[in-house]
Structure 1
Amino acid sequence: MPLVTKTRYLGMVDYLVTWQAMKDFTAHRTNHTPDEIWLLQHPSVYTQGIAGKPEHLLYRNDIPVIKTDRGGQITFHGPGQLIAYLLLDLRRLKFNVRELVRKMEGAVIDLLGEYRVDAERRIDAPGVYVSNAKIASLGLKIKNGCCYHGIALNVDMDLTSFSAINPCGYAGLRVTQTKDLGIDDEIEVLGQKMIEKLQIKFAEGRNI
């Protein structure tokens, strides 16, 4: 039986500090360490995945670019974006990476569905989309059967910073956010709903 997942509400946290904390948590966890979900926001930063191509940064501005160890290409994090980092023992949960990605996407789709917003996943590009505009991006690092990094949901942020990149490596990809879809709930409310939806998906086990 999987241990109960702990939730930590961290507020606005520097990306590098959080990334190091995730690596430290994963390196020191044991078979008995409870899984955790961290909810937070980051100050403005571009992050480039481990296989990221530099040409997807279209021009430099005053926002720092950090090469990180998650999968995927380049994306933007900033205030008003809800981030859920998942620190999970996949062996204990008996999920493979594909299953976990589908559960993450499904949690966001179900969350938006509560507000009567139709969202979908795409086979060719992980994440969640509304009318072909990306509203949530995913990225994971798997180490010794455990994962970290997670989901970023655009809530109420400055979307113009995405114009300096090909989001997630796709030229011309539009982005959207919950505020522009008529969802008025604050980021804290959406964070709690995100936790609930993720917990439901995890409890479903391998039935996806």
Structure 2
Amino acid sequence: MSDGEARQLSPVGQRPLLLRHLGCRSYAETWQEMVAFTAARDAATGDELWSCEHPPVFTLGQAGQPGHLLFDSGIPLLRTDRGGQITYHGPGQVVIYLLLDLARRRLKVRELVVMIEQAVIELLADNGVAAARHAGAPGVYVGLAKIAALGLRVRRNCCYHGVSLNVDMDLSPFAAINPCGFPGLPVTQTSDLGIALTPAQAAMALAGHLARQLERKQ
């Protein structure tokens, strides 16, 4: 899809779920748009997934420790209002933000986290790669290496922020941080695992898996 194009993901009769593909967008700009969208929601507002990539940026969760940034690589650090510690976003990484009315979907936050992780696990399984969760460390891992990170924020029973999947990117900036607060945590990406998906293709596939996970809760 082209920048800004929207696509309905939910089947007829299901709660509306719209996918917006935003292209490569500033993290700060996208974050503020999520905050505004959530603040303006009412009972009639449909749920949306926003797919995008970001220019290079480190983001730190609201309770995150700045000491997990190990050295100044010249990449900006932005403290956000999501949960979790520090991570890196850059071109070639797919980010999908989930803007959901949790009360309307009768979803608990922990349940949603499991669904997001399962969507990534199933996407990788479709492409012949076995992935798993690690207890006490939200996200998705292939062996010991992290391939997807997630963080959420809930306001008025509605959530925003979401999940990032490493697809075909420069992984070297991760060396400047303790990824997600874990010293020495290795990271990987789909292109290094023999998965021949472009970021755009991976975004569409992951959005489909997320939609199917949410449908199961209808």
Check whether TM > 0.5: yes
Contact 2:19 2:51 in 1 (8 A): yes
1:204 aligns with 2:189: no
1:145 aligns with 2:157: yes
Q: Give distance in 2, aligned partners of 1:102 and 1:195.
A: 15
Amino-acid identity (%): 51
User: Where does residue 136 of structure 1 map in the other structure?
Assistant: 148
User: Where does residue 68 of structure 1 map in the other structure?
Assistant: 80
Using the TM superposition, name which of 112-121 and 185-194 deviates more. 185-194
Q: Which runs of 5+ in 2 are unaligned?
A: 1-12
Q: Give distance in 2, aligned partners of 1:162 and 1:205.
A: 35
Contact 2:59 2:77 in 1 (8 A): yes
The Cα shift of 1:130 comes to 0.1
User: Where does residue 5 of structure 2 map in the other structure?
Assistant: none
Q: Please list, as runs of the form range in 1=range in 2, the aligned pairs for 1:12-27 lying within 5 A after superposition.
A: 12-27=24-39
- What do residues 142-166 of structure 1 show as CA deviations (whole Å, max 9, x unaligned)? 0000000000000001100000000
AA aligned to 2:182 is Y
Using the TM superposition, name which of 171-180 and 186-195 deviates more. 186-195
1:86 aligns with 2:98: yes
User: Which 4+ residue blocks in structure 1 deviate beyond 4 angstroms?
Assistant: none
- What do residues 115-171 of structure 1 show as CA deviations (whole Å, max 9, x unaligned)? 110000112100000011000000000000000000000000110000000000000
Contact 1:46 1:75 in 2 (8 A): yes
User: Where does residue 11 of structure 1 map in the other structure?
Assistant: 23
1:192 aligns with 2:188: no
Contact 2:120 2:140 in 1 (8 A): yes
1:157 aligns with 2:169: yes
User: Where does residue 178 of structure 1 map in the other structure?
Assistant: 190
The Cα shift of 1:2 comes to 5.8
Contact 2:14 2:215 in 1 (8 A): no
Classify the secondary structure of the residue corresponding to 1:52: coil
Contact 1:11 1:41 in 2 (8 A): yes
AA aligned to 2:95 is I
Q: Give distance in 2, aligned partners of 1:19 and 1:199.
A: 22
AA aligned to 2:193 is L
Normalised by the size of structure 2, how large is the TM-score? 0.93
Residues matched between the structures, number: 206
Q: Which runs of 5+ in 1 are unaligned?
A: none
Normalised by the size of structure 1, how large is the TM-score? 0.97
1:52 aligns with 2:56: no
CA RMSD across the alignment: 1.0
Q: Give distance in 2, aligned partners of 1:11 and 1:187.
A: 10
Q: Give distance in 2, aligned partners of 1:52 and 1:32.
A: 34
Contact 2:73 2:173 in 1 (8 A): no
Q: Give distance in 1, aligned partners of 2:151 and 2:173.
A: 19
